[in-house]
Amino acid sequence: MTYQPTRRQFLHTSGATLAVAAGSGLLANDAPTKPLPSATADSCIFLWLGGGACHIDTWDPKIKGDAKAKKAGSYYDPIPTAIEDVQVCEHLPRVAKLLDRTIVMRTCHHDVIDEHAAAVNRVHVGRPPTGTTIYPSIGSVASHELGARGEGVPAYVVMGYPSASRGPGFLGAKHGYLYLTETELGPTGLKRPADVTDHRQQRREAMLAELRSGYLARNPGQRQLEDYAASSVEGLKLAGPKFMSVFDLKSEADSVREAYGGEFGQRCLLARRLVQEGVRFVEVSFNLNFINGTGWDTHNDGQLNQHMMIEQLDQAFATLIEDLERQQRLDKTLIVVATEFGRPPEFDGGGGRGHYSKAFSMVLAGGGLKTGQAIGTTDELGNKILDTPVSIADFHATIYQAMGIDPAKELYDSERPVPITDRGTPVARCFA
């Protein structure tokens, strides 16, 4: 007669087997891990290369290709860097000398290829969208968890055009961003007209406060109204001379402003000033498409002139690293160079490249991380991840860990718990 264990006996035996397997290290994901060190970064500058920067033409160079002959491969030659046996594109010479201050993550990946907006959203919120929850962006999470470091400054600033991908989602308007499109103008929407004196402004604010409090008293428990009311109060604080003075880039030495270069560089300089003043998270968009015709979305001739973008990135990024070092803020400031996806090694009919998200590169610098390394390896053309894949959830978890935010924490959409990352795990090699 064949022995048939009861359900209780089966579960008991299975549990014992799993315990032995875990003890032997067979279940690697469940094995206890050493706690990661505490973070040192108190701010983040998030450099956004909108359009999809080609990884094999920047951070992960491969064998040389030929756009005209449609030979797959990198468009530029590689050069050595401050990290032994790690190369980057020839148009990144300044960053190459400072690469030991960075971590190059060469094996980032996700599953969104055809749609830019969807890929931008994936990298900013760290997970696929759903029909029931509007997830917050990484900047809004930083605002919610940490707030601003200083009085009279916002927690979250975006230099670029506004979009839902950068928004607060279910965290509410209080954790949205202040945005500006031109560094010379600053947040002009915060400035009051010249004919409004301090006395008139105070009278207006008092009347507005009375109307606001009365309306909220008559309509209690409406979170959206309360959030927008709080945001308007915050906006009035930001209109003061203290915060507005941050945007006076002419107060910097000419040599400093010139070192940063053009408009993107000036945005990076302003980002440094903002984090010094106490802003927690600053996104700097490099979306200046007129430089090469297409920006980082290098279809057709945009690929042929991609070096114009890379050279400006090289100047601004390198200067930002050096400037933060001089200000003794590099260990306190995490710099992230991110993009929505990479590019395939093959060239299309117009000599450009399509979209590719199965393997691409992003970069972390400063922030007290264990810099001076490239994480992950791709194959000879940059198509396939060979080791150490980094999901977008892992990428977010690493940034949160660096900033002292618990990547395993749960936030709440009303009463529904929402994990702060989509089961992401910080990349342990990034921490000393």
pLDDT digits (tens, 9 = 90+) for 396-413: 999 999 999 999 999 999
Write down the residue that tokens 């390394």 correspond to.
373
Name the nearest CA neighbour of 103 among 320, 356, 340, 399: 399
Q: Are 133 and 170 in contact (CB under 8 A)?
A: yes
Question: What span, in angstroms and rounded, lies between the C-alpha atoms of 316 and 322?
Answer: 10
Domain ranges for the chain: 37-189+253-430, 192-238
Write down the residue that tokens 């203290």 correspond to.
242
Of 98-112, 129-143, 231-245, 345-359, the one with minimum mean pLDDT is 231-245
Task: Note the residue count of the chain.
Answer: 432
- Across 79-94, average pLDDT: 98
Structure tokens at 52: 């999809």
Write down the residue that tokens 């201050």 correspond to.
101
Question: What span, in angstroms and rounded, lies between the C-alpha atoms of 177 and 155?
Answer: 8
Question: What span, in angstroms and rounded, lies between the C-alpha atoms of 303 and 21?
Answer: 51
The predicted structure's pLDDT at residue 13: 44
Structure tokens at 234: 């915050």
| Interior/surface letters 86-102, b for 16+ CB within 10 angstroms, e for the rest | bbbbbbbebbbebbebb
Question: What span, in angstroms and rounded, lies between the C-alpha atoms of 183 and 213?
Answer: 35
Q: Is 340 helix (H, G, I), strand (E, B) or coil?
A: coil
Question: What span, in angstroms and rounded, lies between the C-alpha atoms of 231 and 244?
Answer: 17
The predicted structure's pLDDT at residue 207: 80
Q: Give me the chain's average pLDDT, please.
A: 87
Tell me the pLDDT band of 310, cut-offs 50, 70 and 90.
Answer: very high
Residue 191: Cβ within 10 Å count:
12
Strands 373-375 and 102-109: parallel
The predicted structure's pLDDT at residue 23: 38
Four-CA torsion 320, 325, 329, 333, nearest 10 degrees: 50
Structure tokens at 382: 């940059």
pLDDT digits (tens, 9 = 90+) for 218-230: 877 666 666 666 6
For residue 171, pLDDT beyond 70: yes
Q: Are 295 and 277 in contact (CB under 8 A)?
A: no
Tell me the pLDDT band of 240, cut-offs 50, 70 and 90.
Answer: low
For residue 3, pLDDT beyond 60: no
Q: Name the fold adopted by 37-189+253-430.
A: Alkaline Phosphatase, subunit A (3.40.720)
Which of the given ranges, 186-195, 221-230, 328-337, has the highest pLDDT on average?
328-337
DSSP state for residue 157 in the 8-state scheme: E
* Phi and psi at residue 281, to the nearest 5°: -140, 125
Q: Is 383 helix (H, G, I), strand (E, B) or coil?
A: coil
For residue 311, pLDDT beyond 60: yes
Q: Is 286 helix (H, G, I), strand (E, B) or coil?
A: coil
Name the nearest CA neighbour of 331 among 365, 284, 363: 365
pLDDT digits (tens, 9 = 90+) for 49-81: 999 999 999 999 999 999 889 999 999 999 999
Q: Are 281 and 226 in contact (CB under 8 A)?
A: no
pLDDT digits (tens, 9 = 90+) for 100-158: 999 999 999 999 988 999 999 999 999 999 988 999 999 999 999 999 998 889 999 99
Q: Which helix (H) or strand (E) covers residue 274, if one does? A: helix 263-277
pTM, 2 dp: 0.86
The predicted structure's pLDDT at residue 383: 97
